[in-house]
């Protein structure tokens, strides 16, 4: 029982809407063959149904050069998936401590030869590179030189779940990803954007359509946006 003493500050209560559905629980069960140890799912993690949909793309299209912006629970699942396709996963994380913790888990799972989490800090992002539109361009993003130094050529799958965007209102926090990395895409590729229920992410997808010349769609029940040169998408559950 918590008692409140007069004159003392009351702890802040942060209300977070429920993010998972029954489909997420079923997807988590479907993902179990790829999960060999505890995975730290958080309120910031990609939904299991979204992760499973990305894994579908990895497995059905035999993706071998996967890049993820924003590491987390998805990293550990995707690492196992690319092991099955004999591919590699490069994950980018702005938080050094979190990156180190995930790399420890990858080593413990025997996946360090297939996947690595690279710490790339957030630094000022040049306003001159901002797209035109009604929303604000990001003032910070991953250090571009650091990011490009660890990302490979021939990216056939890009997952964008970072930098964190939930508290930044109308800022197009994740829009730079395609502009910075598109010269490294393979001929055949897919691009996924998490949190596509938010308006800035929807505008980001529209901008990516213009930049890449491929159609993007939004699967609301997965809060996931996707575009593919292969013209197909296999959502889960």
In 37-163, beta strands by DSSP E = 65-69, 88-93, 115-119, 122-124, 140-142, 155-160
33 in a structural domain: no
The answer, yes or no, to whether residue 82 has pLDDT greater than 60, is: yes
Q: What is the pLDDT of residue 31?
A: 84
Closest C-alpha among 176, 185, 179, 195 to residue 229: 185
Q: What is the pTM of this model?
A: 0.87
Comparing 27-41, 173-187, 212-226, the range with the smallest average pLDDT is: 27-41
The pLDDT confidence band at residue 23, using thresholds 50, 70 and 90, is confident
235 in a structural domain: no
165 in a structural domain: yes
23 in a structural domain: no
Q: What is the pLDDT of residue 205?
A: 95
Task: State how many domains the chain has.
Answer: 1
- Reported residue count of the chain is 237
67 in a structural domain: yes
What is the CATH classification number for the domain harbouring 117? Answer: 3.40.50.150
Comparing 7-11, 47-51, 145-149, 180-184, the range with the smallest average pLDDT is: 7-11
9 in a structural domain: no
Q: Which is more confident, 236 or 69?
A: 69
> Hunting for tokens 């040169």 — which residue is that?
229
d(CA 202, CA 226): 11
158 in a structural domain: yes
105 in a structural domain: yes
% of the chain residues with pLDDT over 70: 85
Which uninterrupted H or E stretch holds 126? none
d(CA 196, CA 159): 12
For residue 84, what are the domain limits? Answer: 56-228
The pLDDT confidence band at residue 37, using thresholds 50, 70 and 90, is confident
Comparing 6-20, 30-44, 51-65, 180-194, the range with the smallest average pLDDT is: 6-20
Comparing 8-17, 85-94, 177-186, 220-229, the range with the smallest average pLDDT is: 8-17
The answer, yes or no, to whether residue 51 has pLDDT greater than 70, is: yes
């Amino acid at each position: 029982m918590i008692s409140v003493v007069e004159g003392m500050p009351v702890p802040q209560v942060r209300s977070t809407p429920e993010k998972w559905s029954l489909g997420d629980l079923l997807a988590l069960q479907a993902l179990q063959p790829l999960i060999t140890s505890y995975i730290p799912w958080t309120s910031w993690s990609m939904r299991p149904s979204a992760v499973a949909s990305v894994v579908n793309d990895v497995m059905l299209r035999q993706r071998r050069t996967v890049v993820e912006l924003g590491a987390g629970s998805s990293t550990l699942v995707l690492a196992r998936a690319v092991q099955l396709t004999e591919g590699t996963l490069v994950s980018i994380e702005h938080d050094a401590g979190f990156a180190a913790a995930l790399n420890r888990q990858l080593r413990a799972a025997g996946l360090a030869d297939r996947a690595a989490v690279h710490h790339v800090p957030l630094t000022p992002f040049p306003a001159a590179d901002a797209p035109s539109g009604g929303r604000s361009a990001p003032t910070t993003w991953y250090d571009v030189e650091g990011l490009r130094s660890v990302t490979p050529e021939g990216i056939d799958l890009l997952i964008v779940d970072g930098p964190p965007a939930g508290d930044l209102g109308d800022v197009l926090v994740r829009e730079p990803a395609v502009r910075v990395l598109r010269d490294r895409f393979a001929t055949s590729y897919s691009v996924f954007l998490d949190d596509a229920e938010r308006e800035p992410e929807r505008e980001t997808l529209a901008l990516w359509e213009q930049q890449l010349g491929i159609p993007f769609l939004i699967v609301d029940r997965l809060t996931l946006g996707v575009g593919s040169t292969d013209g197909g998408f296999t959502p889960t559950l």
